[in-house]
Structure 1
Amino acid sequence: MSAPDQLTFRALADPTRRDILKMLATQDMTIADVSGHFDMTRAAVKKHLTVLSDGGLITVRPRGRERINSINTQGFAPVLNWFEYFDSFWDDRLSALKSAIEKEKK
């Protein structure tokens, strides 16, 4: 697993960050907007947003004095690739099991 992929999985490891991603999936938000949904300091929320940004899962753009956080759907590619590998793995295993069961029935 490459270093950027590790940052993506690290970002997803925390339930608060996953909740932030769910919120950002519906709308772009400032740090203050995100902070309003959690019982933690703005600085703590900023740290979570930084981890999400480092993991490539969100983008941050300035708008005047504010920083707008948006979900980056392309940042989920490492996760999708990882799941696709195991999806293929289990498809192969289940096909082999089906074949073995069908041979036994004959």
Structure 2
Amino acid sequence: TIGLYYKSHAVPLYLSEMAPARYRGAFSNGFQFSLCLGALAATVVNYGAEKTPNSLVQQGKGRGEVKALLQKIRGVDAVDEELDDIVAANATGQAGDNGLRLIL
């Protein structure tokens, strides 16, 4: 929480105090604009990714629904192996295993 406080309160204050008087507004507004733009970009990415096969498995959707979407995305019918990998990865993630340890 200290880091969040620092980023959202101290940085704009520092920028406005250290900037030359004629640029203070631009620096302050630029910082706020950057934050808003980043939040918008994250929202757009999340919106676009919520219908992907990984997200559907995490949401508990049926295997048939996920398989149909995966077939549509890949353009082939043979997606069982990839679907099994997605389901296994989701089960591992829900079990609380450390994903980084599995990669290494």
Larger strand fraction of residues: 1
TM-score by length of 1: 0.30
Structure showing greater relative contact order (alpha-carbon pairs closer than 8 Å, 6 or more residues apart):
1
- Considering only CA atoms, is the larger Rg found in Structure 1 or Structure 2? 2
Larger helix fraction of residues: 2
